[in-house]
Amino acid sequence: MNVTIDFGGTNIKIGLVREGSVLVKTSIPALSDNGLLTRLPDVEQGIRRLLSGAGVSLADCRGIGIALPGIIDGEGKTLLSIKDKYTDALGFDFAGWSASQLGLPLVVENDARAALLGEIAYGNARGEKDAVLVIFGTGIGTAAMIGGEVVRGRHGQAGILGGHLATDIYGERCNCGNPGCLEAQASHWAIPLRAAKLPGFADSMLAGEKDWGYETILRASEEGDAFAARLEADLLLHWGAGIVNLIHAYDPEVVILSGGLMKSADRLLPRLAERVRETAWTPWGTPRFTVAEDPETSVLLGMSYLASRQQHASKGE
């Protein structure tokens, strides 16, 4: 049994996982503008509450897995780089914190990589060896696996920066510094900023919305809003280009799509698949598409998988 923690931008999710199933989970506000380290006492309390509610003690748990939306070192111990949020956790000794506060070994991994592992170990992509995953959340997270190995690269950044491959070199500058990143054109946080600069926005029903994103556009488009329909068509080109970039880079057999945007999978998936068929260079055929049922659960399951793997490795099994 492992404790798993997913530090998202809005919520911190904590789960207790045994053999590929989340037994219980809870969530506390991330308050990520205040950093990560100030949240650790509440995280610790959240873990203790969750365990006692489930009638489990810390001694019953074998380890902890923490998922973060940034670049992690090859040992799975520290956060090397992150944009905007949680920057106070750079270089923080998570394993030391866990050992002193909870008495458990700990592993850290990028959240999208964890989700990919969770999907392949226990989810809709079970048993696949060559896969890419795209999570359309607040930002756009990605991960890749080749020949059964999750791609990490020399500096820990391979596979996870697919949201930061450009889909328009004349486009918006991203918070990573690169102009035209997929994430800066077509992610939940970026769409309202870009849309507001496009002609016709003021006449759209979107102009009257607050805190809008993926779902709002699709709804407005369905309701006949001409601007929203044009925006949806434009976004499909960006999302399609992002997926084709990943296919060209990593040669996957399956493309796993996840995140809030996939609530509209029925509407989007056929069009994304068609775009990929039209534009990807894959002479062997076309990668299969699959949708992750619950991104949150994939991350927690993946972190538990990694925590267990680390326990086996440290025992030399």
Taking the complex as a whole, the smallest distance from the CB of residue 157 to Zn ion amounts, in Å, to 12
Q: How far apart are CA 201 and CA 84, in angstroms?
A: 28
Taking the complex as a whole, the smallest distance from the CB of residue 291 to Zn ion amounts, in Å, to 25
Q: Which is nearer to Zn ion, 101 or 178 (CB)?
A: 178
Taking the complex as a whole, the smallest distance from the CB of residue 161 to Zn ion amounts, in Å, to 8
* CA angle, residues 68, 72, 75, in degrees to nearest 5: 125
Residues that bind Zn ion (CB under 5 A): 164, 174, 176, 178, 181
Q: Which is nearer to Zn ion, 22 or 181 (CB)?
A: 181
Q: Which is nearer to Zn ion, 51 or 174 (CB)?
A: 174
Q: Which is nearer to Zn ion, 121 or 135 (CB)?
A: 135
- Spacing of C-alpha 124 from chain mean position: 16
AA letter at 228: A
Q: Which is nearer to Zn ion, 118 or 242 (CB)?
A: 242
Cβ neighbours of residue 138 under 8 Å, at least 6 residues apart?
Answer: 8, 9, 10, 187, 188, 189
Taking the complex as a whole, the smallest distance from the CB of residue 172 to Zn ion amounts, in Å, to 10
* Three-class HEC string of 138-179: CCEEEEEEECCEECCCCCCCCCCCHHHCECCCCCCECCCCCE
Token readout for 16 is: 């207790």
HSE-CB at 46 with a 13 A cutoff on CA atoms is 22
Residue closest to Zn ion (Cβ): 174
Taking the complex as a whole, the smallest distance from the CB of residue 180 to Zn ion amounts, in Å, to 8
